[in-house]
Amino acid sequence: MSTRQPSTASRTVGVIGLGQMGRGIALNLDKKERLAALWDVRPESANGFSSAVAFAPPNRMAEQCEVVIFVVPSSKEIEACLSGPQGLLAADRRGQVIIDLTTSDPQETGRLVKIARDRGRDYLDAGISGGAVGADAGMLTLMFGGDAATLDRCRPMLDAIATRIFHVGPSGAGHTMKLIHNMVCHANFFVLSEAGRLAARAGIDLKPMIDVINAGNARSYISEARFPNHILSGKFDGRSRVANLAKDLGMAADLAADLGRPGVFGPLTASLLDRAMNEGMGERDFTTLYLEMDRLLEAERMARGQSK
Domain boundary among 131, 149, 171: 171
What is the spatial distance between Cα 281 and Cα 275, in angstroms, rounded to a whole number?
A: 9
Residue 29 belongs to domain with CATH number: 3.40.50.720
Mean pLDDT per 10-residue interval, the chain, length 308 residues: 45 96 98 97 95 95 95 96 95 96 95 97 98 96 98 97 99 98 98 98 99 98 98 96 96 94 94 97 98 96 80
The pTM of this model reads 0.91
Report pLDDT digits (tens) over 127-163. Answer: 999 999 999 999 999 999 999 999 999 999 999 999 9
Classify residue 6: in a domain, yes or no.
Answer: no
What is the spatial distance between Cα 131 and Cα 139, in angstroms, rounded to a whole number?
A: 10
The SS3 assignment for 62 reads helix
How many residues in the chain? 308
Classify residue 240: in a domain, yes or no.
Answer: yes
Residue 193 belongs to domain with CATH number: 1.10.1040.10
Domain boundary among 171, 198, 227: 171
What is the spatial distance between Cα 56 and Cα 4, in angstroms, rounded to a whole number?
A: 9
What is the spatial distance between Cα 92 and Cα 20, in angstroms, rounded to a whole number?
A: 31
Classify residue 40: in a domain, yes or no.
Answer: yes
Nearby residues of 217 by Cβ (< 8 Å), 6 or more positions away? none
- Domain count of the fold of the chain: 2
Residue 3 pLDDT: 42
Report pLDDT digits (tens) over 200-235. Answer: 999 999 999 999 999 999 999 999 999 999 999 999
Residue 46 pLDDT: 92
Residues 39 and 93 in one domain: yes
Residues 167 and 185 in one domain: no
| Residue-range definition of the domain harbouring residue 29 | 13-171
Residues 144 and 84 in one domain: yes
Residues 92 and 199 in one domain: no
Quote the DSSP letter at residue 5.
Answer: P
Classify residue 75: in a domain, yes or no.
Answer: yes
